[in-house]
Chains A and B, each alone.
Chain A
Amino acid sequence: QIQLVQSGPELKKPGESLKISCKASGYTFTDYAMQWVKQAPGKGLQYMGWINTQTGKPTYADDFKERFVFSLETSASTAYLQINNLKNEDTATYFCARSLRYWGQGVMVTVSS
């Protein structure tokens, strides 16, 4: 069955960087783009963008064009979200999703000094 399994929770300080993973199984990884979605505590879903898993080309929504990097390790069927220069407002759960139909379990990221 199709599964997206994400890495574990993160606690970081402002200014640090982190990299979240999303490992896909149950389908051919390069057949579908991977999407990323942010959800701040108690808030709604915010679309961050997507990465073409065939070419590696990322597309970012307007609010995520700075400090956010999507990448791939195709041989491992894994997508990554890197956030640089972390800010308090990056505290959120980050989801990967395939076709916005299959979702990872989410990674809770806490940024606090």
Chain B
Amino acid sequence: DIQMTQSPPSLSASLGDKVTITCQASQNINKYIAWYQQKPGKAPRLLIRYTSTLESGTPSRFSGSGSGRDYSFSISNVESEDIASYYCLQYVNLYTFGAGTKLELK
């Protein structure tokens, strides 16, 4: 099974900051990674698929990049509505979520 190592577990940012979350797969996942946002009590929301393709409705301040085993997700100009938990997901072989990153306001 493919494992996804996501870091950091938590992140503290000020409004307007740029933040970056990383995920490393245990093997090459050929860019088959998605990123989700989840707010308390809600279902996850798909933001980005296939490394860098923004879903309809995802603000352009969100971005993704990477290849092989290493991937990153960034939010430029953090806004208050971005305070949430974020998860990566590999879907090249079944599915595996990263452990999540909780983004808080500094």
Considering only CB atoms and an 8 Å cut-off, how many residues of chain B contact the other chain? Answer: 20
Q: Shortest Cβ distance from B85 into chain A, in angstroms?
A: 8
List, in ascending order, chain B residues with CB within 8 A of A52's CB: none
Q: Which of B23-48 contact A (CB under 8 A)?
A: 34, 36, 38, 43-44, 46
Complex Cα spacing A59 to B95, Å:
11
Q: Is A26 among interface residues, defined by CB-CB distance under 8 A?
A: no
Count: A-B pairs, CB below 8 Å: 44
CB distance from A108 to the nearest CB of B (A): 10
Q: List, in ascending order, chain B residues with CB within 8 A of A106's CB.
A: 43
Which of B11-19, B62-70, B74-82, B96-104 interfaces with chain A?
A: B96-104
B55 touches A46 (CB 8 A): no
- Cβ < 8 Å to B, chain A residues 60-112: 61-62, 95, 97, 100-101, 103-106
